[in-house]
Amino acid sequence: MMRSMFSAISGLRAHQTWMDVIGNNIANVNTTGFKVGRVRFTDILSQLVRGASGPTEQRGGINPLQIGLGAVVGAVDTIHTQGALQLTGKPSDLAIQGDGFFVVSDGSQTLYTRDGAFDIGSDLRLVNPSNGFYVLGWQADANGNVDTAGPVGPITIPIGQQLDAVPTTQITVQGNLDANQDTAATPPHYVTKVSVVDSQGKRHEFYILFEKTAANTWNYTLQEDDPRTTTTEDDPEFDLGGTTTGTLVFDADGNLDLAASTIGAVDLDATAGGAGTVSVTPDFSRLTQLAAPSTANAAANGAPAGSLTTFTVSQSGEVLGIYSNGVTKVIGQIALALFTNPGGLMKVGGNAYLPTVNSGEPIVGPADSGGRGKIASGYLEMSNVDLAQEFTSMIMAQRGFQANSRVITTSDEVLQELVNLRR
């Protein structure tokens, strides 16, 4: 009778632990990035009453006779399945689609989390405002290059930072010139406009005129005025110099023959306004001549001065700064960590984990590589707790606890009958 009571007591303890885990799961049903816990029971060492014996010529074998001594909690597993993503629209809210973890720091140690509810702190660093953990990654250099092989550190997002003007150094013309264009028509046969930026960030516009002179041959001219209007659009601070005319020759397939074409450098002269002169050779290599309407258009790089107004994060974790002048520039990259056995991580509160000897060492690198998963900006990962499963488990734990308590009361009644034999 005493064995049954002690076995039932162990069952009560085990089911009480199960209820504790269920209660914790339900309490964290709305905790960002929370991963559900699962209890696994094991039996306690059984008492051997009679050993086993093998078969003989006269009789068969006998199995061992054992009486179990109860149950114990063998493990409380953390189930790292993907949680659903909740749209927030806030660019600093980040969710991981995959197996990776954000790398964060509390100033004394490096921790790992799935909670991406980040914001920009007063020191312009990316931080989790609920616990003060800095988000770690790599800062970009002045040219937007990121060295992901270097050590990780806090990421600074310098909102309001001034970006100097970037003068135009490249003009690209792409699209199509109509192969059916009649050479006898009054030129120009097609006109497109391009905007360039001088060294002081001022914008200037000019026009590119195309005239078909023969089969597969076009002349182009660069000028400040729009030939389609009678108004002179003189820009007193800007002049075109150098080679402002050229010839474009296309092959039989409609592709530009660069060797047969004549394309020279043009001077973008803004010295009258106090800026400098930049010599640029237009790139016509993407231009075609096909039997379709003319769609040629020109674009130039360069941008006026601006300041960082907001940012976004790409799927690969690149922090892209968006400036008031329309320029987008890489200012950093968020690091993700991958573990061989994430179930071996130790929870330390604040939605954070620490590695253990059984989790393996963190494999840190950029997102969208090495199986770390992608980053979704403007989303948060919800808890992976399934309430239907938890309520079902609660019923099972309750019944298990109740059944074990009945074993104790029944054993007590049997012992009472044994005591009453003396009467």
Mean pLDDT, consecutive 10-residue stretches, the chain (423 aa), reads 81 94 96 95 83 87 84 93 95 95 94 96 94 95 91 94 90 97 94 94 94 97 87 80 95 96 95 92 96 96 91 95 90 96 94 95 94 95 96 95 90 81 69
pLDDT value at residue 342:
95
- Where are the domains positioned within the chain? 2-80+394-420, 85-163+307-381, 171-300
DSSP readout, 221-233?
EEESS-TTSSS--
pLDDT value at residue 5:
84
The CATH class, in words, for 171-300 is: mainly beta
Region class of 368: left (phi > 0), else alpha (psi between -120 and 50), else beta: left
Give 45's contacts (C-beta < 8 A, 6+ positions apart).
Answer: 69
CA atoms within 13 A on the CB side of 249: 7
pTM of the model: 0.77
pLDDT value at residue 422:
67
Smallest CA-to-CA distance from 93 within 124, 119, 121 is with 119
Radius of gyration of the chain, Cα coordinates, nearest whole angstrom:
37
What span, in angstroms and rounded, lies between the C-alpha atoms of 135 and 102?
7
Smallest CA-to-CA distance from 75 within 44, 45, 38, 46 is with 38
Q: 250-254 long-range contacts, Cβ below 8 Å, gap at least 24?
A: 250/177, 250/216, 250/217, 250/218, 250/288, 250/289, 251/216, 252/216, 254/179, 254/288, 254/289, 254/290
Q: How far is CA 390 from CA 29, 75, 204, in A?
A: 10, 17, 66
| Contact in structure between 329 and 163 (CB atoms under 8 Å) | yes
Residue 187, burial from CB neighbour count under 10 angstroms (0-12, 13-18, 19+): middle
Place of tokens 């993700």: 336
pLDDT value at residue 411:
84
Return phi, psi of residue 351, to 5°. Answer: 60, 25
